[in-house]
Structures are given as structure tokens and as C-alpha cells.
């Protein structure tokens, strides 16, 4: 199951995300999304966990918790096809 993690501190790295969610079970992937031009974190990332039960427990336990002075948002990631199209200016 793929998990969205938002409102991350900009200093968060992939390894920290993996360790944080690894408390709940195996983590097959953890990535903090960065801006392709600047390389700076965009403040959100994704965690992939093979066990849906472990992922749901992680979502329940981690949503609205403090990480580096910021209250993170954690929920099941929406598939790309289900997201509304982005508007470009």
C-alpha cells in the first residue's frame, strides 16, 4: 500500500521516512519529493509498505503527529488516475 506523507519538515530525508514508518512493518520504498530545478524538498513524500494492515496501522498512528515541529498529514495515496488534472498558469 502506498502512503502519502505531507507537511514534512524540509530537512527530512528518505532514510528518516523509512526509519519512521519501519516501526510498523516492512517498508519497500520511502521517498521525499524534491523540486527538480532546485533539489529542495517539496515537503511531502511517499512510503510503500507491502502489508496493507501495517500500512493502515502506520496511517492511524502517524497522522497528525509532530515531526520536527510540524504536524504531518498521513493517508493512503491516491492513484495518479484518480487525481484531478493540474492547472498550469
Kindly indicate the confidence band of residue 80, based on its pLDDT and cuts at 50, 70 and 90: confident
Backbone angles phi, psi at 37, to 5 degrees: -85, -40
| Residue 39 domain-assigned (yes or no) | yes
pLDDT above 70: residue 88 = no
| Residue 89 domain-assigned (yes or no) | no
| Residue 22 domain-assigned (yes or no) | yes
Q: All 3 cell numbers of residue 70?
A: 510540524
| Residue 85 domain-assigned (yes or no) | no
| Residue 48 domain-assigned (yes or no) | yes
**E-strand stretches of 8-86:** 29-34, 41-48, 66-67, 70-71, 73-76
Identify the domain containing residue 47 by its residue range. Answer: 2-77
Look at the pTM and tell me if it is higher than 0.85.
yes
CA distance 23 to 11: 20
pLDDT tens for each residue of 38-61: 999 999 999 999 999 999 999 999
Output the domain CATH number for residue 24: 3.30.70.330
CA distance 39 to 71: 23
CA distance 47 to 24: 12
| Residue 12 domain-assigned (yes or no) | yes
Amino acid at each position: 500500500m502506498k502512503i502519502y506523507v505531507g507537511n514534512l519538515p524540509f530537512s527530512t530525508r528518505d532514510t528518516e521516512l523509512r526509519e519512521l514508518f519501519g516501526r510498523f512493518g516492512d517498508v519497500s520504498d520511502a521517498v521525499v519529493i524534491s523540486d527538480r530545478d532546485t533539489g529542495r524538498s517539496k515537503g511531502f513524500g511517499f512510503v510503500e509498505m507491502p502489508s496493507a494492515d501495517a500500512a493502515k496501522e502506520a496511517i492511524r498512528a502517524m497522522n497528525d503527529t509532530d515531526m520536527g515541529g510540524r504536524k504531518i498529514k498521513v493517508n493512503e495515496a491516491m492513484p495518479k488516475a484518480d487525481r484531478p488534472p493540474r492547472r498550469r498558469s
